[in-house]
Structures are given as C-alpha cells and as structure tokens.
Amino acid sequence: MPVARERNNQTGAGARRSLTAEDWVDAALTAIGEGGLAAVAVEPIAKRLGATKGSFYWHFANREALIEGALARWESQNTERVIAAVDATRTDSTAEQRLRQLFKEVPAATSGDPVEVALLANARHPQVAPVLHRVTERRLAYVSDVFTDLGFPPAEARRRGLMVYTVHLGQISLIHGAPQVLPASKRDRKHYMDTLVYTLTRRD
Amino acid sequence: MPVARERNNQTGAGARRSLTAEDWVDAALTAIGEGGLAAVAVEPIAKRLGATKGSFYWHFANREALIEGALARWESQNTERVIAAVDATRTDSTAEQRLRQLFKEVPAATSGDPVEVALLANARHPQVAPVLHRVTERRLAYVSDVFTDLGFPPAEARRRGLMVYTVHLGQISLIHGAPQVLPASKRDRKHYMDTLVYTLTRRD
DNA sequence: ACCTGAACACCGTTCAAGT
DNA sequence: ACCTGAACACCGTTCAAGT
C-alpha cells in the first residue's frame, strides 16, 4: 500500500521541497549518534527521509562522501562548543580551578555527545583520524595555555598539557570500555580527582 | 575454471582433513589483525579456507559466534603474554625501573599486536567491551602492585596504578589517533617520559 | 535540477541434498 | 559428521527514464 510518507520540508504538511546535501548530512549525524559510523547506511537513511537511494546518489558520490560531510560538520560545530566551554571557565579565579573544571566539564561534554563517543570508538578510521587529530590539537593547545598561566615555562607547559590531555583520553577509554575499574563511590572519586590534579599540577 | 584450491590440512598436499571451529577462529583472528572487526566476513574467510559459507554455518550459529570465539582465544593468549612480560621485568632492581619498563614495553607489545589495536579501536563493541574490561583489570592489578612495592599504602597504590593505566590508555589513543601531538624528537620523548614517571611516582 | 525504479554485486543466513 | 550449492534478504552503487 503506497502511503505518502511525511518528509523533511519547510512548509509543514504543504508543498515538499527537494532534499539538500545538508539534509542528508543531518540525517547521517543523527545516525552516527544513534549507532556509530556503521549506522551510516544509505538505504535506511533514505527511507527515513522518505526518499530513495537514487536520490542520495544525486547529492553524493558515495557513502564515504556522506561520512566526510558529516565529520566536517561535526568538527566545525565541535570547535564552537570548545570555544564556548573555554569562555565559561575563563572567569574562574585560579588556573588550578580552571584545570579542575576542565577535568569535570570536558568529559561531561564529551560523554554527553554521542557523536564524539562514536568517533572515539572509531579513532583509527581513515576518515575519522584526521578530524580527531585537529580537534585534539586545538584542545591540547588550550590545556597547555592553562599551565602557562600557572607560571610554567612554555616547554614544560606543553608537556604538562600533554599529560593532562593523555589522562583525559585514558579516562574516556575507561569510562566507555571498563568503567568498573574507576573509583566506585563519590567520595573515592573526589579523592582520586584530587590526587590527579595535585599530581599533575605540582611543581618541582 | 575450477582449480582445486590449497586448503588447511595436516598432511601437506595429501588428504585434506575437515575444517574445525579452531580453523575458522584462527582465520578470524588473522582477519581482525589485518582489517579490524569489520574484516570478519564469512564469505571472504570461507574463500580463504577453500570452503563455502555453508560449511561455516555447520560450525557456528552466525558471524557473531565466530567473533566471540576469536575474542575468547585472544583473551587467553593475551593473558599468557602479560604473564610473560611480567616475568621479564621481575628481576629489575627497583620498582621505579619496572614502572619505566612497563611504559616502554607495554605500548610496544600493544602496538605490536594488530589484534589489540583493532580491539581498542572497537572498545565499545558489545562483544569487545567485556573482554577489554577483564584484560584491563588484570593489567591494572599488576601496575598497582608495583606501587605497593614502591611502599605506597594499598588505596594510594590503586589510585596511582589507575593513573598510570589511564595514561597508558591515553598514550595508545594518541599514538593511533593523533601521533603528531607527541614529542617529535627522541630527546624530547625521553624528557617527556622522565617527567611522566617522575610526576606519577613522586611522594607527598 | 532532482528523483524514481530497476538492475547488479556483495555478504549474511537458511536449507535441502550430497558424501 | 561435514560440506556443497542454490536461494533469499539486505545494502552499496549505477543508470536510464521520468518530472
């Protein structure tokens, strides 16, 4: 039974506009968030948009190009999110507080973004790796700046920043791969976090 | 042209024995090492073994069961490898040297094992996660013991062990996702490693 | 310019039939 | 007990034909 499917459009139930590449990218990002890279499947997405596979191939050369577009969009959005997060902590009094803040906020934002989680799960994917690399570089530069603000000389600030970011990545791996090894109680977690910040910010 | 394909057997070019579940698991592990979890594809593996897909389904319920078998095998082999690595470092004089050793050896062994790399890339896969969790727990316990040997009280030793293992995981992520951010020269890497070990082993 | 519908290739899964 | 070969479903890709 050929029922007319509801479909993305600007005018409600009225005239339906054509799909754009943007529409497909939107749908792809949604799919990544829900089921990872593997969920970027042309046929199911087409069904969701109320179109056919043939329509997709008018906008994109292939599935790879769709993933490319989705990653590019995520990266630019992610940049703005990082900047916003930075602005949010800028008024904190001490650099150590900002560091502590980063340890709390960034994983929260990170775990909260299902797309980031999915991309981290596919960090070695040839299309994902360079995106992750640029995002990493940007975040790392910011963390290093915090150590500069703490009075560390540039080279040492970079090393410390790298350590912090390394720990951050490790935390994400643990949270998503083996959360059971992390401190169980809130009290233990606070103790652990204190040890972490203390250890990483300590001077000679 | 129907050429008789060479096929896994015990007796060289002579009589060919039947395939076993083991044979399929072997081939699956090879495939994971070469192309990740996604490379565990029934049809191509069957072709490589000189058999048909139908043969596979006599030994396994489905593709998932094959992956399960491959992961189980890798885990048990990995256990032995860890034990061997531990034994190799046991004669080192100081615990700090053992720690430094771990930082050098474990990533080396880890990066050297393409299966581990592939599994880490799919850390959130429902079949992979529990395996990784158990392996993590085992390694973490060992690292914590090193800190106990260093004279840290148990709770603190666990925290330090967790930090070290977190850093280790972060390193792996960086090495495979954004190696460019790591210190470029050998000299800088040594300096960084020194800072790392010094920072993580320092007492109050 | 944008899309449909049919076609083909590839791989997962099933199963009747062979040895 | 172990395997083949044909069949079907699902998805990526192509393309002639429609509006």
Q: Is the pLDDT of residue B67 over 60?
A: yes
Q: Where residue A60 falls among pLDDT bands split at 50, 70, 90?
A: very high
Question: Between these two residues, A17 and A37, which has the higher pLDDT value?
Answer: A37
Q: Where residue B111 falls among pLDDT bands split at 50, 70, 90?
A: low
Residues of chain A numbered 170-189 and touching chain B (CB < 8 Å): 170-174, 176-178, 180-183
Q: Is the CB of B31 under 7 A from strand D?
A: no
Q: Distance in angstroms, CA of B58 to C1' of C18? A: 15
The packing angle between helices B114-121 and B95-112, to 10°, is 80
- State how far residue B10 is from chain A, nearest Cα, in angstroms: 37
Q: Distance in angstroms, CA of B19 to C1' of D3? A: 10
Q: Is the pLDDT of residue A2 over 50?
A: no
Q: What is the pLDDT of residue B143?
A: 87
Nearest-CA residue of chain B relative to A180? Answer: B133
Transcribe A6-65 into DSSP letters: ----SSTTSPPPPP-HHHHHHHHHHHHHHH-GGG--HHHHHHHHT--HHHHHHH-SSHHH
Please check whether residue B165 touches A, CB under 8 A. Answer: yes
Question: Between these two residues, A125 and B44, which has the higher pLDDT value?
Answer: B44
Cβ contacts (< 8 Å) between A174 and chain B: which residues? 136, 165-166, 169
Tokens of A198: 């203390």
Q: Is the pLDDT of residue B74 over 90?
A: yes
Q: Is the pLDDT of residue A80 over 60?
A: yes
Q: Is the pLDDT of residue B4 over 70?
A: no
Please check whether residue B139 touches A, CB under 8 A. Answer: no
Cβ contacts (< 8 Å) between A121 and chain B: which residues? 121-125
Cβ neighbours around A103 below 10 Å, total: 18
Q: What is the pLDDT of residue B15?
A: 43
Q: Give the amino acid at A106.
A: V
Task: Give residues with Cβ within 8 angstroms of A87, minimum separation 6.
Answer: none
Q: Where residue B25 falls among pLDDT bands split at 50, 70, 90?
A: very high
Name the DSSP class of B200.
Answer: H
Q: Enter the pTM of the model.
A: 0.76
Q: What is the pLDDT of residue A5?
A: 38
Name the DSSP class of B19.
Answer: P
User: Average pLDDT of B114-132?
Assistant: 84
Q: Where residue A16 falls among pLDDT bands split at 50, 70, 90?
A: low
